[in-house]
Structure 1
Amino acid sequence: MLNYQTLRPFIFKTNPETAHTIIEFLSKIAPKIPAFLPFLSYKNCLKDSILMQEIDGMRFYNPVGLAAGFDKNAKMIELLCALGFSHLELGAVTPLAQSGNDKPRLWRHIEEESIQNAMGFNNEGMSMVNAYLKNLFPFVVPLGVNIGKNKITSQEESLKDYLTLARNFAQSSDYLSVNLSSPNTPNLRDLQNINFIQELFSSLCQVYTKPIYLKIAPDLEIDFALSLIEAAIKSGAKGIIATNTTLDYSLVARPQDRGGISGKVLASKSREMLKQIALYLKNTNQKTTLISVGGISNAQEAYTRIRLGANLVQVFSALIFEGPSLVKQINLDLKNFLERDGFNHIGEAVGVDLCN
């Protein structure tokens, strides 16, 4: 029987963005095929009490979610849920639809099992995405929306974009992820400053009552990153998502000259950022949700992140390189790791490897 690793060389002969469009099309027709999604769910969804958590009022039946960027327009929710994800982060979504940057803008680094993208927040806009979400919400797993400003929005008007998005998704999402860290929208990372973050989260919390998380870049100096995190938490953020893609092009042999890199090569940077954030929160006695993303491709890496303080993990690039059975395999192995190490519940493992 053909498995994904056998098919992968043929899939990788296709342009990356074309391949993604095909997946989006298959996701559209999948719910119309009798018994297909229940069969996928039976094969991929692992439910075990050792993996279940309630975090910020949301129930997660395992710790593995989908990172933002894969399902930008909320068109693949049912198929992705059937692959075993405990939560889906959709987007990034902007107030107005935008086409994104010029093509080509998505590249595979096959030897490094990594992806480079310069997409530029291409999406159908909040009205269309909200319409898709309202047809499904509330859903069987938490649905988050990653929000970002439009390219044409000036820095001075950025706050209005984020507030508009928060109001729009107040009744059709379980949480928001604030994206100030994508490298593909001009000057967006400049908004990663204390004054803007304080104003932003204070304002967002007045219009959106569910959890709001800050997603940060992996390339920040750690002291600066911690100052931003402190400002976000004091202004109402429920947690931190670490990290977005990196601009460190030395990580791959043949980088493009634009866009952010994700995948296995990001693992070390993302892991270290998580560790420093978790240590800081521990030492300052702040209980804050941590979601680790970046370079997680197997259960060992996921378990390492959990033991370093992550409550949840997210994957994206690994799904492309490992295939649709990835989430089930991670969860099966995580269960075994937890039992091997004497834990009765995943929450007991969170942060056990932290030391000063």
Structure 2
Amino acid sequence: MGFWENKNVLVTGHTGFKGAWLSELLIGRGAAVSGIALPPEGTDELYSGLQLTQRMTGTFLDIRDASALDREVAKVAPDVVLHLAAQSLVRRSYRDPVGNWATNVMGTVHLLDALRRLERPVTAIIVTTDKVYENHEWAHAYRENDMLGGHDPYSASKAATELVSASWRRSFGGQNLKIATARAGNVIGGGDWAEDRLVPDIIRALKSGKPISVRNPRSIRPWQHVLDPLNGYLTLAEQVHLSDNEHFQSAYNFGPEPADVFSVNDLAEAVLKHWPGQRADASDPGSLHEAGRLSLSIDKARSELNWAPVWRFDEAIEKTVHWYRQVSEGADPLPVTRDQITAFEAAR
């Protein structure tokens, strides 16, 4: 437990896939966890499966509502904030670009301004994405000092979130408000049921006995189990909170080892080793633009935070499919999730 025991921690987006895993991880490390988020979507969501309503303090509100958010942040008075609340789907951002920008950019502005007014020490880790970089489809891994950009509304809004965070850090940062940003790769793990996301789409197809539809089989992504970047966020939060060195209040990539950057087709084939089924190529040259190649350099996090990914690609796939198969066969999601966290903590 150590650092996190009895820390007052606010997780925004706690009802989402990553937020639910993060809340469970923090509860296991002894933190007093509060959450702010929209109500969970769908009927299979992880938040309910982990019984988080009974095990943490949660408030449903929209971070676009500045006044409501300000009141709730003042009420929680957190020591550490992990900001995951976002519109996180690329294809949805094309359908509602204004809502996407309002949530991702102005929602972050509202949160940071609420924290600025607390007038007490607080550390904020703002979670963005590997898609914040101006993507040239080149082979080398993106470093934290590479140019920001973004073709689609989601990616561009997250790049803008990086600029917002840097502006607040320079304008209002100090001993009372410390801000860093975390850029993670494509996370996988049990309990993700989002629309238009590869692993949930694969699992839905396998459960129904249908062929897996693969939209962009040649696209390259930095796949990683959800626990690896979450552990990175917590490692970064500890370092920023405890250190007077402002250097740590900056951006950090959290991705897989360089050898674990694989194609969509590779991931689909790896899943089928653990849950047999059929695969169908559903690529469409006229579909909405999505990046063809993404990879992250993790040298900065490795050297400055002593962080490294724990589970390699094959193990991340095996753990993910195992979670879905167990739960599909009637297992309680909470002990399945706890078992995987215990295995991860023992391995790191």
More helix by share: 2
TM-score by structure 2 length? 0.32
